[in-house]
Amino acid sequence: MVRLIQHLVEAPRACSYLSNETASLEHRIMLDVEPAMLEAMLSRGWRRFGPDYFRPACNPCEACVPTRIITAEFVLTRSQRRARSRADKLRIEVGPPRVDEERLALYHAWHKNREIAREWASGELSGRDYFYQFSFPHPSAREIAYYDEEAEKLIAIGISDETPNAWSAIYCFYDPAYARFSPGLVNVITNVAIARAQGKPHMYLGYRVSDCPSLRYKSDFHPQEVLVGRPGEDEQPQWVRQNPSGE
């Protein structure tokens, strides 16, 4: 049985994505959430980090649009095909998320690069922080690890969820020295490929924010669907297919 530890809605704060907006998240801290329930929450716009399930509660702004890819029909663009081709040199391993010094060092190298390139705030994580965000025990939790076999080196980590009918890409970080491999793009393609191979119809891509440069890439995966509004537990979620122009 699901255990709800805490339910809260944040007070409005400065938005991380749009400088002229305020933001607020609704949080549910929960334990013992089974994959089928997680899937129902994903279909209603929720996301997960560890035991924290959240979705936007910003009013009146609705710029964060939940997005999912239709896996059976997904077609790679030319740039996506090039990225996948470069990634053929990498070894990919899928397993349960874990925390160790190698993963912590990889995360810190990636985040430090983002702090310089994109003026992100400092993002130091302890092993405990990493555990609660990325490797908290959950039946849906998956880690996709990417290795440069020639250098015998871990170069990227993708954190995902697997539910009965979908995969959900949660987070990805990588060694900045391997940026030429487009690891973030490759991770999305890998999630879609795994879901399609398993016969799962959807790959959830998180929130698309059209006016945020760092999230605009989510518009490049097609065909995709976007969620209408923020449906409650007793409402049927309505997903609308979008064409490449976003219409």
d(CA 152, CA 91): 10
pTM of the model: 0.94
Q: What is the mean pLDDT of the chain?
A: 94
Q: Is the pLDDT of residue 141 over 90?
A: yes
**Pairing of the two strands 166-174 and 202-208:** parallel
Q: Tell me what the mean pLDDT of segment 69-87 comes to.
A: 94
Residue ranges covered by each domain of the chain: 3-242
Q: And the tokens for 180?
A: 């030429």
Q: Tell me what the mean pLDDT of segment 32-45 comes to.
A: 98
* 122/204: higher pLDDT: 204
**Residue 30 near residue 2 (C-beta atoms within 8 A):** yes
Q: Is the pLDDT of residue 246 over 70?
A: no
Q: Tell me what the mean pLDDT of segment 219-240 comes to.
A: 95
Confidence of residue 245 (pLDDT cuts 50, 70, 90): low
pLDDT more than 70, % of the chain: 98
| Sign of the torsion angle spanned by Cα atoms 207, 91, 199, 185 | positive
Confidence of residue 69 (pLDDT cuts 50, 70, 90): very high
pLDDT digits (tens, 9 = 90+) for 102-132: 999 999 999 998 888 777 788 789 999 999 9
Q: Tell me what the mean pLDDT of segment 18-34 comes to.
A: 95
* CATH dotted code for 3-242: 3.40.630.30
Q: Tell me what the mean pLDDT of segment 132-146 comes to.
A: 97
3-state helix, strand, coil in the chain (%, to 5): 30, 35, 35
